[in-house]
Amino acid sequence: MKRLKVFFALILLLLALPFWRFSDILAIISPFHWPLSLALTCTFAFFVMIPLKLLLPKMKTYLLIILILCFGSLSWWANPFSKMATTEPTFNHCGAMTYTGMFYPISSFLSDAHRDDLEARNQMCWIRKMISKVPPRFDTAHEVETYTKLMEDKLLRPEIKYRAALPLVAILYFQINVSSVDSLGTKKIYDSLHFWINHYTEEISNREYSAWNWPHSVYIKFEYGLVEKNWQSLIDSIVFEN
């Protein structure tokens, strides 16, 4: 019975990393902080505290609850994004409690698949951070033009531009133009979709990884491939009529 408990505890601990990584997507797509905080707290409770209880059965339950509450409070207090400026895309832009924010600084020491995964997600956090900083309103067309030029300069800076980040680029342009008084805002969003698809071309799904990168390489090629393989057809299906 004891060996069975140890076995299940180890399985849960091994699953903690992929579930922690999966929760990062909430920081990227959610406009609110609480989904990420809830996901991190649940991951900690189920994949860390339960195995701890199985390995240390004499540990008091109330102590586990206190640890979970403390972790939940910490995850709520922590920002989903770092405080680094968006001027440099290679800075660590994901929050310290996210999987990407924790491992991106040491990505150069990890396998190729992990490095590519962390770089792509950090690029997404970078763009997501820019989305959150868009002013709520632009009063003149000149303000929109100036701000758009500023964003374009930033978006052109990454040496490697991941195609999986294109949906966030589209959201960034949507956020800018819906906040403007420019009647041509919809046309600008449409034009930006076709412009950036020719710049953000790096596809992780087409990369070849050694056996050392398995199983992470298989997972990320499938995950990023969902966007990389379908974004072009989605853009082509959008028809704008003047």
Least confident of 12-26, 118-132, 150-164, 223-237: 223-237
d(CA 213, CA 204): 13
Residue 124's SS3 state is helix
pLDDT confidence tier of residue 208, bands split at 50, 70 and 90: very high
pLDDT of residue 189: 81
For the cut 60, the answer to whether the pLDDT of residue 135 exceeds it is: yes
Minimal CA–CA distance to 113: which of 200, 207, 20?
A: 207
What would the mean pLDDT of 201-221 be, rounded to a whole number?
94
Cα 212 to chain centroid, rounded: 24
Q: What percent of the chain has pLDDT over 90?
A: 72
Residue 136 is predicted with a pLDDT of: 87
**Residue 238, φ and ψ in degrees, nearest 5:** -90, 120
pLDDT of residue 232: 82
Average pLDDT value for the chain: 90
pLDDT, position 198: 92
pLDDT tens profile 28-53: 999 899 999 999 999 999 999 999 99
For residue 111, give the nearest of 219, 13, 200 by alpha carbon. Answer: 219
Q: Quick check: 2 pLDDT over 80?
A: no
The percent of residues in the chain predicted with pLDDT above 70, rounded, is 95
Long-range contacts of 83-90 (CB under 8 A, 24+ apart): 86/126, 86/129, 86/130, 86/133, 86/154, 87/154, 88/157, 89/123, 89/126, 89/154, 89/157, 89/158, 90/122, 90/158
Cβ-contact 222, 209 below 8 angstroms: no
Q: Which band of pLDDT confidence, cut at 50, 70 and 90, is reported for residue 187? A: confident
Q: Residue 145's closest CA among 168, 183, 176, 167?
A: 176
